[in-house]
């Protein structure tokens, strides 16, 4: 499981079918899944998301009551080792990835105990706009925990 997390002042997301959502101050979390991801990967990721002290006054997302926008992005598993065309062979297949994404969202809602979570639509072409704060961007890979 890979995540790219950005601290934002605000962000919005829209999809061609007119679905849209937005958050105020908080985090955007782009997430991708591999076929080997499990509940322990979700729990580790959610723990990091909620407890990282990355806001003003050494506050976490939970302490700040910040908002969270979660967006599926399988391209986080792209590899350019062979040639110039990205390979996504390490990403979970779409059916499995959708299940893992939905499981991750469910666990996020349960563990973070908040209604401040917004999401994109799995597999859709989305337009994401954000005002980055910092900028501050982190990447996490649950298979390379430190």
List, as one string, the DSSP characters of 89-141.
TTSPPHHHHHHHHHHHHHHHHHHHT-S-EEE--TT--EEEEEEEEEEEEEEEE
pLDDT at 111: 86
Which one of 36, 39, 75, 106 is the catalytic residue?
75
- Confidence class of residue 146 from pLDDT cuts 50, 70 and 90? low
CATH number of 2-135: 3.50.80.10
Active site residue 75: yes
pLDDT tens-digit map of 30-86 = 999 998 998 899 899 999 998 999 999 999 999 999 999 999 999 999 889 988 999
pLDDT tens-digit map of 107-140 = 999 888 777 999 999 989 999 999 999 999 999 9
């Amino acid at each position: 499981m890979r995540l790219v997390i950005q601290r934002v002042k605000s962000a919005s997301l829209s999809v061609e079918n007119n679905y849209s959502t937005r958050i105020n101050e908080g985090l955007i979390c782009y997430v991708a899944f591999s076929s080997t991801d499990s509940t322990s990967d979700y729990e580790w990721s959610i723990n990091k998301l909620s407890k990282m002290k990355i806001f003003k006054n050494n506050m976490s997302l939970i302490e700040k009551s910040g908002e969270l926008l979660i967006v599926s992005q399988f391209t986080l598993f792209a590899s350019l080792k062979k040639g110039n065309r990205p390979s996504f062979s390490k990403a979970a297949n779409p059916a499995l990835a959708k299940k893992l994404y939905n499981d991750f969202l469910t666990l996020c809602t349960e563990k973070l105990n908040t209604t401040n979570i917004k999401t994109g639509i799995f597999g859709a072409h989305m337009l994401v706009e954000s005002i980055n704060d910092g900028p501050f961007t982190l990447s996490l890979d649950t298979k390379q925990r430190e």
